[in-house]
Amino acid sequence: MRNLFVILTVLLLASTYLHSSESSADKIARAKSAAHSGISKDATVMDVDGAILSKGSNGWVCRPGTGPGDDHPMCNDAVWEKLMQAAASSADFKADGVGISYMLQGDAHVSNSNPAATDPNNGDVWVQEGAHLMIVAPKEMLKGISDDPYNGGPYVMWKDTPYAHIMVPIRLNE
């Protein structure tokens, strides 16, 4: 068990070092790969620490990852950015309209019910989506949509939290 802890610690440190030494150009390219070029070419690119890597003009924000050590890029509209800020500080969030986030490069393995969960053995259903869209909307608009990530189509993630949203899996090049 001690050896496993040492190996995991070394991998985490190596990942942190590699991400910290990554060039801004590489981060920008990864961030912009999250959405189609019609959105990403004019989007602001924000690093995981909040630093602006590239100023855009269309109101979208693309990120090279969702947090430190993560390399799953996303591009968000203004409503989704509000959700991200609220989730980062565990603040309440209520969608005042429809918001869109693109994650065309896929996402990490996450709990379908709890955005703060870190233990995949906690009894939750955990998913790792490939390319997908995320749609946040006022909660009353989510009624009747399945929360089963294995139903073959869109589903609600984090249903019983302020950060509930619709996951829309996309199958590219089929």
> What pLDDT does 7 receive?
31
**C-alpha dihedral sign at 54, 55, 57, 58:** positive
**Can you give the pTM of this predicted structure?**
0.84
pLDDT at 18: 45
In whole angstroms, give the CA distance from residue 32 to residue 60: 11
Residue 174 has a pLDDT of: 56
pLDDT tens track of the chain, all 174 residues? 333 233 333 333 334 444 458 999 999 999 999 999 999 999 999 999 999 999 999 999 999 998 888 899 999 999 999 999 999 899 999 999 999 999 999 999 999 999 999 999 998 999 999 999 999 999 999 999 999 999 999 999 999 999 999 999 998 665
pLDDT score of 44:
98
- Round to whole Å and give the CA distance between 20 and 5: 22
Provide the pairing of β-strand 61-63 with 52-54.
unpaired
Q: Give the DSSP letter string of 141-159.
A: GGTT----TTSSS-EEEST
DSSP per residue, 112-136: SS-TT---TTSSS-EE--SSEEEEE
